[in-house]
Amino acid sequence: MHHSSDEQVLEVNYCHKGIIGWDMKDNTSVYLNPGDLEVHTLDCCSSSTIHLPLGYYEGVTVLIQPFRLDIYLQNLFKEWNYDPHYLIPSLCPSGEPLSLSASLLISSVFSGLYEIPEHNLCHYARLKTQELLFFLTTVSRETIPQIQPFTSSQAELIREIHDFLIQNIEKRFTIEELSKKYLLNTTSLKHIFKGIYGKPIATYLKEYRLQLAMRLLSETSESISEISAKVGYESPGKFTEAFRKHTGLLPKDYRKQYKATDKKEKICCIKPDP
């Protein structure tokens, strides 16, 4: 991403679904999980790389120019006894991005935007923008819980570890083995991986294995034993039990159900001869 650099414009990002990350200037990486809020100036991200660890992201972006607010918003700030020119130095001193962990308060500002009818969205968004501005005037870097950013090199290393694990999904690696292989202490490895991919390593890999198994059961004729080994289970029995807990079905029943549904859909798609 490349755009003009402006230290006088704030970009506010709210993550509704998925995960989004930025590699910004000064070797800083910021990742947002659902419900998180992030604020930075356009100077921070004027030349940045965006990552979507889960492959998708849905959210809201608001751009604020405190020095160019219209008269109505200026009057609102006077009523709040707050100088809008203080927003940037308060939220992003020295150009540092600010990331806030998900909370009910943050959710209350944005969640309604996904429920309001389209024809009312513009007017509703104006009200929500005022609510957002008021919320930002109450934020204090000293007292509110924050998401600690990573360095871009740390984030790049975790993405490399992730790719290694996915490419070798049939194998099992301990945190200690990964820590030694990539010269990263175990605490940082676990913390940064969860920050980027939204879940602990073990949970993420278990879900990935079972999602892969579901795809193999529905798209191939490989035996359950073959699929079990391919997704990293030491025995078909352990795989079957994990699959049942995840889907509510045994692997053979899932395959039958999928095949029956697929066959029915194909029959429905057959057009009679004219």
Domains of the chain, earliest start first: 10-148 (2.60.120), 164-258 (1.10.10.60)
Q: Answer whether 46's CB lies under 8 Å from 3's CB.
A: yes
Q: By the 8 A CB rule, do 92 and 136 touch?
A: no
Residue 261 — very low, low, confident or very high, per pLDDT cuts 50/70/90?
A: low
Q: How would you class 13 by CB atoms within 10 Å of its CB: exposed for 0-12, middle for 13-18, buried for 19 or more? A: buried
Average pLDDT over residues 93-120: 90
pLDDT at 224: 95
64 DSSP β-pair partners? 10
Mean pLDDT, to the nearest integer, of 121-140? Answer: 93
Q: CA gyration radius for the chain?
A: 24
Q: Compute the CA torsion angle 213, 214, 216, 218 (nearest 10 deg).
A: 160
* Chain centroid offset of residue 259 CA: 33
Which residue has tokens 């998925």? 18
Residue 145: pLDDT over 90: no
What would the two tokens of residue 149 be?
Answer: 């950013």
pLDDT(138) > 90? yes
pTM score of the predicted model: 0.84
CA distances from 64 to 6, 102, 125, 200, 250 (A): 11, 21, 14, 35, 52
pLDDT bucket at 241, cuts 50 / 70 / 90 = very high
Share of the chain above pLDDT 90, in %: 77
pLDDT for 263 equals: 52
pLDDT at 206 over 70: yes
Residue 21's pLDDT band (boundaries 50, 70, 90)? very high
Mean pLDDT of 202-209: 96
Is the pLDDT confidence value at 190 over 70?
yes
Q: Which amino acid is at 170?
A: E
